[in-house]
Amino acid sequence: MNSRRVLPPYRVKVVEPIPFLTADERRAALADAGYNPFNLRADQITIDLLSDSGTGATSTLQESAAALGDESYAGARSWFRFRDEIQALTGYPYVLPVHQGRAGERILFASMLKPGQLSVSNTHFDTTYANVVLAGAEAVNLPCPAATDLDSAEPFKGDIDLAALEQLLAGPDGSRVGVVLMTITNNGLGAQPVSMANLTAVRALCTRFGVPFFLDAARFAENAWLVAQREPAYHGQTPREIARAAFDLADGCLISLKKDGLTAIGGVVGLRDEARYAACEANLIATEGFSTYGGLAGHDLERLAQGVREVLEPTYLHSRADSTARLARLINDAGVATVAPAGIHALYLNAGRLLPHLAPHEFPGHALGCQLFLDGGIRCAELGSLYLGGMDEAHRLVTPAPFELVRLAIPRRVYTDTHLEYVADVLADIAKDPERVNGYRIVAAPPLLRHFKVRLAPLSG
């Protein structure tokens, strides 16, 4: 076996300082933030793993392209460069630029979903779910059964449950299904990839029942990389070929380009159908911007056009996947379980298992996230009962989430393996004495999108 390290295909040219607070300063900062990491200031954080969205580093080629950005109101050079790249990537003739993914969701669903209809998915992303509901429709998640076994090493736990999808389409509610939307990779369920076999079967079912099939493809390149590694029929194919094969199966796509677009902002809707394009375009012009910029500046379109090329480079995807897998091994060796197998854009810590002394209503995932900040200045997001649990009016937990997880999202091209080793070290210290981690209780919470604005207090330990 070749034991040489896999190198990132770039070196660092411009650096940004990161803050180091003392333990006392971190304690005070977290108390001021109401024990909610979303309320922390970025300059209080040493390693920020809150999100991989819009947080990646750009390249010299992206920044030099940005200098060429054409800011003409209509028909800018930068628009045509962007459009050509998206058409080459997806094969879709109609391309609508939007400022970020959720604007595309709103615009597409307004033309596609009617009140009472269903959107069916392997798992809807949270804003996708919200936009389905805002369109008056209902969101149905049908993850495959393997997704709920956090420890199983099955390669494609992001797949949709095909039997359940067929049953729904053939059953009494089948006529209500307005779209089948496959999220690749499945961000809501452990960053797990979706197999091409699953997408092919979804295509066949959608054709048979006459239902539009769309991709929510924020991580189109990372899904393609994992397909190349894990699905034998695709060994040896390039990420671009596999991504294109996935887009070929669908009728259109939504893409938040803040992820695999390798930029801070941007999104796109891709369509095959001209009439649907016309409906979406009118909405785009009314709410986002003219159809050749859609809420983006010319310099953004230039960075994006270059970003969607760079993200498909096998050397880049290889090193990113290797780096995440290596972090997973370090964390597992320290005695902390992560959702298996490791994906690419994030690792999900099994906080429920690490902190059995905390009940779900004491929010073990949130407690672990807070401890990572207190001990090491690391910020991450809870995906457990605080975020997903059902609560009564007094903010008491009524229905716990199925799992108590913490997501470590890994920004693209930002942190070195030394930074990630530091994260594993801080976790290892917590794992040596997990009982010192205190639980939390809710002090105040808004009625909607609780996790962003909730305020908590530590339970005295």
Ligand X SMILES: *Cc1c(COP(=O)(O)O)cnc(C)c1O
Rounded to the nearest 5°, which phi and psi values hold at 200?
-65, -40
Smallest distance, ligand X to C-beta of residue 258, A: 5
Q: Is 367 left (phi over 0), alpha (psi -120 to 50) or beta?
A: alpha
Preceding omega of 58 cis (within 30 degrees of 0): no
Question: Could you tell me the CA-to-CA distances from 247 to 117, 279, 327, 412 in Å, in that order?
Answer: 24, 21, 31, 23
Q: Which of residues 17-56 bind ligand X (CB under 6 A)?
A: 53
Please tell me the distance from the alpha carbon of residue 86 to that of residue 92, in angstroms, as a whole number.
Answer: 8
Question: Could you tell me the CA-to-CA distances from 123 to 64, 71, 174, 191, 192 in Å, in that order?
Answer: 38, 37, 18, 11, 11
Give CA torsion, residues 248, 249, 251, 256, to 10 deg.
-70
Binding mask 145-184 toward ligand X (x if CB under 6 A, else -) reads --------------------------------------x-
| Residues known to be catalytic | 73, 125-126, 216, 218, 259, 451
Q: Which of residues 239-258 bind ligand X (CB under 6 A)?
A: 256, 258
Nearer to ligand X, 267 or 369 (CB): 267
Residue with tokens 């009314």: 286
Q: Is 141 in the site for ligand X (CB under 6 A)?
A: no
Smallest distance, ligand X to C-beta of residue 227, A: 17
Sort 144 into a burial class: Cβ within 10 Å, 0-12 / 13-18 / 19+: buried
Nearer to ligand X, 259 or 320 (CB): 259
Q: Is 187 in the site for ligand X (CB under 6 A)?
A: yes
* 101, 252, 261, 389: residue in contact with ligand X (rule CB under 6 A): 101
Q: Which of residues 191-220 bind ligand X (CB under 6 A)?
A: 216, 218
Q: Is 100 in the site for ligand X (CB under 6 A)?
A: yes
Q: Are 137 and 121 a contacting pair, CB within 8 Å?
A: no
Chain centre to alpha carbon of residue 175: 30
Q: Is 102 in the site for ligand X (CB under 6 A)?
A: yes
DSSP state of 158: T
Nearer to ligand X, 46 or 187 (CB): 187
Q: Which residue is nearest to ligand X (CB)?
A: 101
Smallest distance, ligand X to C-beta of residue 256, A: 3
Smallest distance, ligand X to C-beta of residue 434, A: 30
Kindly list the residues in this chain that would bind ligand X in the complex (CB under 6 A): 53, 100-102, 125, 127-128, 183, 187, 216, 218, 256, 258-259, 267
